[in-house]
Amino acid sequence: MHSVVVPHGGPPEAIDRVAPSLTIPPLIKRNTLFLAIAQACVGIGNQMVPTLGALMVVQLLGSPTLAGLATSILGGCRFIVAYPIGLVTDRYGRRAGLLLGLLASLAGALIVGWALLLASFTVFLSGLVLFGIGVGAVQQLRLAAADMYPPGRRATGLGYVLTGSLIGAMGGPALISVAQLLAPRLALDPLAVPWLLVPLVLLPSLGLVLQLRPDPKEIAANLERYYPGYRAPQPASPSPQREGSPAAFLRHYPKLATFVASFAVQGNMTMMMAMNALALAHHGHGLPAISLSVAIHIIGMFGFSLPLGRLTDAFGRRTMMLAGLVAAGVGGVLVPTAAEYWLVTIGTFLVGLGWSGVNVAAVALLSDTTRPQERGRVIGTNDTFSGAAAIALPFLAGPLVALAGLPSLAIVSLVLMSVPLGLLLRLRETGGGKYAEGAR
């Protein structure tokens, strides 16, 4: 077995060039299945805000002026909690952070449902903030998946778990439909019942996370125990690159390029999806057609996570991120400029597919280049950048469209993609998860 130790900021574990031949232990398969099911259940609950948020605000305030408030709060909470929850998972384990997130989401959902029954906007805001914090914390599910695999199989393992998000995204409308049937029988507000049902999907997630044994962080620190034949070198001595702070992460070129790529595709996606309905309505398409376009976008986001993970392991993180940025850029041009329905919809699909490719490769690269005890924070830093983009870009898109028209968003998309493309083209990845610290 041939192993390569990566110096100067690389991973403190062996980069196994024949990792795809390693047998995945039953324990890892079991934990991966638990995480994938938990991801699906969480995804069902996460659909509540984008689907019902504007309607709830209008009902409570009697005006559409703040209709986007719920979505903005969710994005803001994810932005705020990303790094702190990473610190928690680094210190106490991935399971602890996930449990905190799920409990916060569960309590927040019940409070939101209760607020609608009370017709209290103040209670609604408090519940939504708590739910948003929980949603942000549960993003560490991706890291728990990446922790359990050696570098050569890491993106594939991540792909298995992220595929659960597709099931969750499709399950959200089903839960809402059930709630609409139950609401008249229970004599309750139809907007409140879906939130009161959310615990039914989050409780199984809690049970599955409790069954994650050992903690994925412990597996990451001792991969050679679970993969016979895998050898890890002695951990390198700490250096300023490994202090676990955002500033230290930004000084490491592969991480910097990854942060910028994540910012770009997340900002591009949220901007395009915020304007997708506007673009389709502008060309005379109704709500059923718009809903189908959004569903196809979601398939792009999550439906190809597993094949993208395998391609990432086979051809490298850098290659997948470059391909993802190109796909997202093409989609970002089609959505605001195309007149035909299917061209706009293909654009939304490519925006989601590009985001998915970058997301899978980014988590894999950040795991490759960070010790297990710092990975929660590096993923949290990445999510902070993504969260900032998700807040800023849709907010700026509205005034820009009003001033210069929908096609102006295509220019923004191309500019967004060009910056990380330039950074990644200079990134040196020699294969097997091995990177140089500086740009070439």
pLDDT tens digits for 136-160?
Answer: 999 999 999 999 999 989 999 999 9
Based on the fold, state whether residues 332 and 199 are members of the same structural domain. Answer: no
**Residue 202 and residue 305 in one domain:** no
Give the largest CA-CA distance in the chain. 67
Query: Cβ(379)–Cβ(20) under 8 Å?
Result: no
Q: What does the alpha-carbon distance between residue 356 and residue 351 come to, in Å, rounded to a whole number?
A: 9
Structural domain count of the chain: 2
Q: Are residues 311 and 170 in the same domain?
A: no
Parent domain of 304: 241-440
> Same structural domain for residues 311 and 402?
yes
In eight-state DSSP terms, residue 23 is: P
Are 334 and 209 within one domain?
no
Q: Looking at the domain assignment, is residue 4 inside a domain?
A: no
Q: Could you tell me if residue 12 is inside a domain?
A: no
Q: Are residues 119 and 40 in the same domain?
A: yes
Same domain, 251 and 212: no
Tell me which residue of 208, 217, 135, 11 sits closest to 383, measured CA to CA: 135
Q: Which of 228, 249, 269 is the last residue of a domain?
A: 228
Q: Given 228, 249, 267, which residue is the final one in a domain?
A: 228
CA dihedral 22, 302, 272, 174 (to 10 degrees): -160
Last residue of a domain, one of 228, 261, 285: 228
Percent of the chain at pLDDT > 90 equals: 61
- Same domain flag for 133 and 247: no
Predicted confidence (pLDDT) per residue in 285-336, tens digit: 665 677 678 788 889 999 999 999 999 999 999 999 999 999 999 999 999 8
Query: Looking at the structure, do residues 87 and 146 belong to the same domain, yes or no?
Result: yes
Indicate whether 11 belongs to any domain.
no
Q: Are residues 250 and 327 in the same domain?
A: yes
Token pair in block for residue 410: 């295509």
Q: Give the model's pLDDT for residue 238.
A: 44
What does residue 230 show for φ and ψ, rounded to 5 degrees? -80, 135
What 3-state class would DSSP assign to 16? strand
Q: Please indicate whether residue 137 or residue 395 has the higher confidence score (pLDDT).
A: 137
Are residue 186 and residue 88 in the same domain, yes or no? yes
Mean pLDDT over each residue of the chain, to the nearest integer: 87
Question: Does 14 fall in a domain?
Answer: no
Indicate which CATH number applies to the domain containing 164: 1.20.1250.20
Percent of the chain at pLDDT exceeding 70: 89
pLDDT computed for residue 244 by the predictor: 78
In terms of domains, do 202 and 72 share one? yes
